[in-house]
Each structure stands twice: as structure tokens, then as C-alpha cells.
Structure 1
């Protein structure tokens, strides 16, 4: 009995640990998909203006609208796909940084252009002393930080630049691909009215089409892993039934109540299975950098309940079958 219970704890702990690992892989994949599209969410909008507006005029419209906050605006250069003129309002989403810092509110009002670059440009920067510079069109732009993570993404090849006041007031926003994203989902109607857009639609990017239309298509490996873990949880309940015949016969010999026998068997299964799930989940959360715990708790909790229900159902069926066998003798 002790050997079986120890085995059940270890087995459940390993499966719970693997589930945390799989959710980490999903988290990393989601981040890569986001970074592959300029750190924009799947709810970002591409905006086409109905009339000519300078970048300064468009920024002012967004800034003065209280219903739109914590947003980032990307003015993407149509000729140079790796260059984006960036503007942010409030507490906008910031990409992961390898070094340095991202734009602050003061940078958007500065008379000097500043840049944040992807890690592919790190070795191309000119760094005479403590400050690094990026050379573009024979001009040196101060670099605040370097974007990227250890996995690598399309963001590594991107350059984000703020515009000085002269550029903002002279450059037409219509000449750029305008993408607007919020930390929370933006109200399409309000956004369209604010910027006087002729059309507004979700960003059209292959990674996000996969993400929106078919989650399974972009996470099929992790999905197969989660299915395998679920089947293994069920398999654990089946394995624990193997010694049931011997234990049932012993209970009959000792003239124990069958209902009590089933309850005691389930009680031990539920207890040691729960210990394994808890230990495995806690160890996984301590080992891996998980940003969202809720889905892990729901998944492991659901599998725990499923395994317990299945165990009780099969145990009752097993005892009835054995009991009929004894009566037929």
C-alpha cells in the first residue's frame, strides 16, 4: 500500500510539472508571435485616414481623447520596413529589453530624435563613450535601449524612433502605415471617430491570423503535449485499479462493508494524487518564469477531478464484477 501511494505521488507530481512546462512553452510562443509583429497585440488596428493630417495633429487627437488611454501608435515607413516612428500615450506596452530603457513620455516632446533598436543592430552602434548612436541617413541618433529576448524574433531587426517637433508638424501621417494598439482592447467606434478614419481593421499579419483563427495551429506541439498529460492522468487511475482485485478479496474475507471499501480506496487515491499534483505544480512554478497561473490551476484541477471521478466509476464497476463472480461460484 505504501509503495503504491508513493508511486502515485511521484507520478502525479511529474505530470503536473510537465503541464507547467507545456504552459511555459505556450507563453513563450505567444510572446514570440507578438514580438514578430512589432510587439503589437492581436487587437491592434490598421488605420486609414479620411483626410490629410500631420503626425502632430493625429497625436493631438489621440492625446486629447479621454476614452483612449495607454496606447501606442506606430507610423511604419512604407519604404523601409524595419523603421517605425513611435508615439505612446500613458502606460503603453513595452517590448522586452536586453539593455537600456524604452521611450519615456518626455521623449515624445523632445527636440531630439532618440531610438530603441532590435538586438541585430547592437554591434552596428557607434559608442564613443557611455552613449550609443545609430547612424541613419548620415545622421547619428542617440539609442536608449536594445530590444529582444534570448529566443529571437522579427523585433530583433526593427528600429523604433521618436520624431522631433519639426518632423511631427511637417510629416503627413497619411504617408505611413498607421497601426494603433492599446494595452486594453480599444473601442473601434471611438477610435475611428477620433482619428477621422475612412477605414479601420484588425492588423493583417500571418502570425496573428494563425493566432486568431486557429489557436491549435500555432500551438499544436504544446496541445499534443497537454493531451498526452491528460491521458497519462487517466492512465494513472487505471494503473491504481490493478491491485483492486486482491484488496477487494481481502476486504470480503475480513467482512468489510463494500461501500466503505470503495470510499477508503478513493480517499487514499484522492489524497496522494492531490499531493502529487500540488507538489509538481509548485515545483514547476518555482523553476519556470510563468506570468499567468490561473490556466495552470484550472487545467491541473480539472484533470485531478476527472481522474478521481474515473477512478470511483471504474472501482465500482470492478467491485460489482468481482462480486458477481463470487456469487456465481
Structure 2
């Protein structure tokens, strides 16, 4: 019974370890997303020489049927002029609020700034303002992340309130993203008078970049798989030593299978319990990924355990036959 408890504790720790690995991976992915100002790897770049002003471009986008989309017009000085509509995600806020759809269609300028700029904001009548080009722009909120210095230094402005002095489309970098961006990119490019292409999410995908984003996770997954196989080996050793030595081959095989079914069932329950605990304990943005991985570990261990006990059973039979 004590050995069974030790095996159960080891398996729970293994599943919690899987939760920690995928939580760390998700946080790395999220930090990368923040570095790209909430653009995913599916985002597109739109190249245009259009003389449209940013408010004119925002007005054209607002008149279209596009929804659940964001368009970022990036200018110099970490300034990002934004048009968006519907559900497209938000950045982490330290205070205040993110843009509403109404803000992103308003002719009045408003801003959301990175945390590093919060000390430079002017305050008056319980409202913070960003001074830019001699103009005081109301600040809706402050975004902040300990994992993205780039985000902490950004200035987000509504493109609709940029004014006539703002850069024109030909002088900014334009990126778009959304749940249906691959279907919407042609329409977006046509509205903005340009061409859509794939966004180069990682400018320099070298060995160090791959190791940081995926390599460490892959290594930990290999170690977890080895841990699952080790627990399976220990379980077969436990089963082998609990059966009476005088059992004949047919009875021994049936007993081994019964023990396997019992341990596989316990393993399934422990996997479910460990996965639920990991989902509650750790930060996870992709919970199904952990469920699939934990289930795969259980399946691998169950198959390995069955193979080991059957192999030992046949080995024992051959030994007795030769004797």
C-alpha cells in the first residue's frame, strides 16, 4: 500500500510538472505577443503609398463591414495609431481602461500609454494627460507588463483622432490582425490602397530564438515523458513483487492484467485530478494543450506498463520451461 501511495504521489507531481512547463511556455508566448502589441503570428502587413490621412483611413474602415479586427498604424517614437472594432483582445492594464469602439471612431484624440511614461503625464481635474506636439491628450489608461519593456514604452492613440498633422498612410507601417484576418486581408488592403503580405513575426529566427520560444519546452516535455516511463517501470516492478510466486502461468497472466486495469484506472483518476489542480494553480492561456499532453502521458505510461508486465510474464514462462 505504501508503494502504491508513492507511485500515486509521483504521478501527481509529474502532471503538476507538466502544468508548470506549459504555463511557462504560455507566459513566454504571451510576452512575445505583448512585444508585438497584441498582434498574433497570423497578422498581416499592408504596404501602401496612399496619401490618406489616418482619420480618413479610420473613417473608411468604420464604414466597412469589417469587425473583430484591429489595424495598427505604427509611426516613429513608439507611437501606435489604432483602429479596431469588435473583439480583438486587450493589453494588460495597470490602471484605467482600454479603448472602446466609440473611442476608436471619435474625432477627439485619446491615448493609452505604457507604464514607463506614466510619470511624465500631467494631471488636472482627476484626469491624466499626455503632452504631445503642444497638445494635451486625455489618457484613458496605462498598460504595463514586467515581461515586455517594449510595451511599457509604447503610446497608443486612436487613429480617428489623429488630426491632419498626423503621418499619412504612406509614412507609417501598417499591421492588421483578427480572428478572420486571412479572409479580411484582401478587403483591408483594398480599403487602404495597398497590398497585404505575411507579417514577419520573428525578424531573426536563429537558434537562440527557437530555444527561447520552443526548445526549453521541448526539453522539459522529453524529461516528463522519461519520468512517465520510469513510473511505469516502477509500477511493473511493484506488480511483479506483489503476486505469489507459486501462481501458474495462466492465473499469473490474468492477475497481471487485472492489476494493470486497476493501476491504469487509478492513473486516469490521478491524471484528471492533477490536470484540474494544474489548471487552477498555474497561468494557462491554452488549457486544452495541457489536457492533451497530460492524457498522452497517461496513455504512454499505461501502454508501457502493459508491455513491461507482459514481457516479464513471458520471460518468466520461458525460464520455467527451460528449468
Query: Do they superpose with TM above 0.5?
Result: yes
Unaligned runs of 5+ in 2: none
2:253 and 2:313 in contact (8 A); partners too = no
Aligned length: 320
- Kindly tell me: are residues 321 and 165 of structure 1, through their superposed partners in 2, closer, same or farther at Cα, counting changes over 3 Å? closer
Aligned to 2:288: 294
Partner of residue 231 from structure 1, selected from 211, 226, 231: 226
Partner of residue 72 from structure 1, selected from 62, 70, 90: 70
Partner of residue 134 from structure 1, selected from 116, 130, 135: 130
**Matched residues in 1 for 2:308 and 2:157: separation?**
64
**Matched residues in 1 for 2:130 and 2:302: separation?**
61
1:84 aligns with 2:100: no
2:116 and 2:153 in contact (8 A); partners too = yes
1:45-80 CA-partner distances (Å, limit 9, x unpaired): 2212254323233223322332x3111121111x32
Determine helix, strand or coil for the equivalent of 2:174: strand
**Matched residues in 2 for 1:224 and 1:255: separation?**
41
Determine helix, strand or coil for the equivalent of 1:241: helix
Query: Which aligned segments of 4 or more residues in structure 1 are displaced greater than 6 angstroms?
Result: none
Aligned to 1:246: 241
Determine helix, strand or coil for the equivalent of 2:90: coil
Alignment of 1:20-169 (within 5 A): 20-49=19-48, 51-66=50-65, 68-77=66-75, 79-80=76-77, 82-163=78-159, 167=163
1:270-322 CA-partner distances (Å, limit 9, x unpaired): 12222322222122112123233211111111111111111111111101111
- Kindly tell me: are residues 237 and 164 of structure 1, through their superposed partners in 2, closer, same or farther at Cα, counting changes over 3 Å? closer
What's the offset of the Cα at 1:124?
2.0
- Kindly tell me: are residues 303 and 224 of structure 1, through their superposed partners in 2, closer, same or farther at Cα, counting changes over 3 Å? same
2:80 and 2:154 in contact (8 A); partners too = yes
**Matched residues in 1 for 2:226 and 2:100: separation?**
49
1:117 and 1:158 in contact (8 A); partners too = yes
- Kindly tell me: are residues 59 and 169 of structure 1, through their superposed partners in 2, closer, same or farther at Cα, counting changes over 3 Å? farther
Alignment of 1:176-187 (within 5 A): 176-187=172-183
Partner of residue 260 from structure 1, selected from 246, 250, 254: 254
**Matched residues in 1 for 2:264 and 2:294: separation?**
14
**Matched residues in 1 for 2:288 and 2:310: separation?**
33
**Matched residues in 2 for 1:246 and 1:254: separation?**
15
**Matched residues in 2 for 1:215 and 1:281: separation?**
27
- Kindly tell me: are residues 293 and 310 of structure 1, through their superposed partners in 2, closer, same or farther at Cα, counting changes over 3 Å? same
1:275 aligns with 2:274: no
1:127-170 CA-partner distances (Å, limit 9, x unpaired): 24521122223332211111123433411110001246571597
- Kindly tell me: are residues 89 and 8 of structure 1, through their superposed partners in 2, closer, same or farther at Cα, counting changes over 3 Å? same
**Matched residues in 1 for 2:218 and 2:115: separation?**
31
- Kindly tell me: are residues 307 and 196 of structure 1, through their superposed partners in 2, closer, same or farther at Cα, counting changes over 3 Å? same
TM-score, normalising length: structure 2? 0.89
